[in-house]
Structure 1
Amino acid sequence: MIMRPGQPLLLPANPVFIWGSLIGALLLNMLPLGRIPWQPDFLAVALVFWNVHQPQRIGVVAAFLFGLALDVHQATLLGQHALAYTALSFFAITIHRRLLWFKVPSQALQVLPLFVAAHAIELAIRMLAGGAFPGITVALAPLLEALLWPIVSILLLAPQRRAPDPDENRPL
């Protein structure tokens, strides 16, 4: 892949770290805080991040399975999160090459419509199944997820930024 000028060369991502971060995000979503309408979906942010940075390792099938796990845990309509995460992952993989050319704050603005679409899918399925409207505060969740994007980018790219073997003879 062609890199932006001044962008540091990253180490390959460790698959154990990728899957561990996704499982950690799933566990954050499973915390027994009750379902707050404006609560950000940490798993959605982690899925989009890894779909953008490692689309060959994390794909639509992983998003579907994580969505089913969250549906079962939250006792929601089976497939509600699975469909939202699948669509989210598909569109994240679709824009991943273009998105990586931008700086992190610009990336946050560009993933905002993805998060809005995912929450709209979840809300539409919930409403079609006869659920109650959670209120206008549900619109805050995608905004909070977009605000989390720079923090998640720093945290999840940190293991790839360190030099594997610092050596005065090898500048990379």
Structure 2
Amino acid sequence: MNRPQYILLPVSPVFIAFSLLIAFLLNLLPWGRFIGAPDFVALALVFWGIHQPRKVGIGTAFCLGLLMDVHDATLLGENALAYTLLSYFAIMMHRRVLWFPLTTQAVHVLPLLLLAQAVQLLVRFVVTGKFPGWFYFLESVVSAILWPFVTMLLLAPQRRSVDKDHTRPI
């Protein structure tokens, strides 16, 4: 426990909404068809579920899941169910995960992302009867690899100084 501890400023609800909107817009880009393209909405929901469980909850995850269902033209409720479970389990383990360094947090987040993908796969398999292959789960691995970068990016506005000091370069 020799790493520095930061006291973060309160997060703005506008910033949370903006980050979820950006995550949704990133999912709308055409790279979602490639194998291993991360699900940015799932990653943002896990992040905010762990860091701000009272502000981003299961209702937000359900609404974003319905939007992703409409965008992906999948069975209505497939992503909503997966994101709801993802958000629930992220909120359940939020106190424990925050004690670990970022790389260990990524290891804790990986099973959550795999669970969400497994739920989506199960729904698709029941409806279509097709299995997309094991590379389907590469998306969760890539998302877990991106976890430290997403955490540093989304926590950056909260780490700014409360008192402006014009003699400091930062």
TM-score, length-normalised on structure 1?
0.91
State the partner residue of 2:128: 130
Q: Distance in 2 between matches of 1:88 and 1:97?
A: 16
Q: Distance in 2 between matches of 1:95 and 1:151?
A: 20
- The answer to which of 4-13 and 96-105 deviates more is 4-13
User: Structure 1: where are the runs of 5+ without partners?
Assistant: 168-172
State the partner residue of 2:144: 146
Residues 37 and 135, structure 1, Cα contact 8 Å, conserved in 2:
no
State the partner residue of 1:7: 5
State the partner residue of 2:20: 22
Q: Aligned residue pairs: how many?
A: 165
Q: Distance in 1 between matches of 2:149 and 2:155?
A: 10
Q: Distance in 2 between matches of 1:6 and 1:153?
A: 16
Q: How does 1:1-172 map to 2 (within 5 A)?
A: 6-33=4-31, 35-166=33-164
Q: Distance in 2 between matches of 1:114 and 1:21?
A: 20
- The answer to which of 129-138 and 119-128 deviates more is 129-138
Change (3 A) 1:34 1:160: closer
Q: How well do the aligned residues superpose, as a CA RMSD in angstroms?
A: 1.7
Q: Distance in 2 between matches of 1:113 and 1:76?
A: 23
TM-score, length-normalised on structure 2?
0.92
Q: Distance in 2 between matches of 1:105 and 1:164?
A: 28
State the partner residue of 1:170: none
Comparing both structures, which one devotes a greater share of its residues to helix?
Answer: 2
Q: C-alpha displacement at 1:39, in angstroms?
A: 1.6
Q: Distance in 2 between matches of 1:144 and 1:33?
A: 13
Give the AA of the match of 1:41.
Answer: D
| 3-state SS in 2 of match to 1:129 | helix
Q: Distance in 1 between matches of 2:96 and 2:109?
A: 12
Change (3 A) 1:34 1:101: closer
Report percent identity of matched pairs. Answer: 54
Q: Which runs of 4+ in 1 moved over 2 A?
A: 32-38
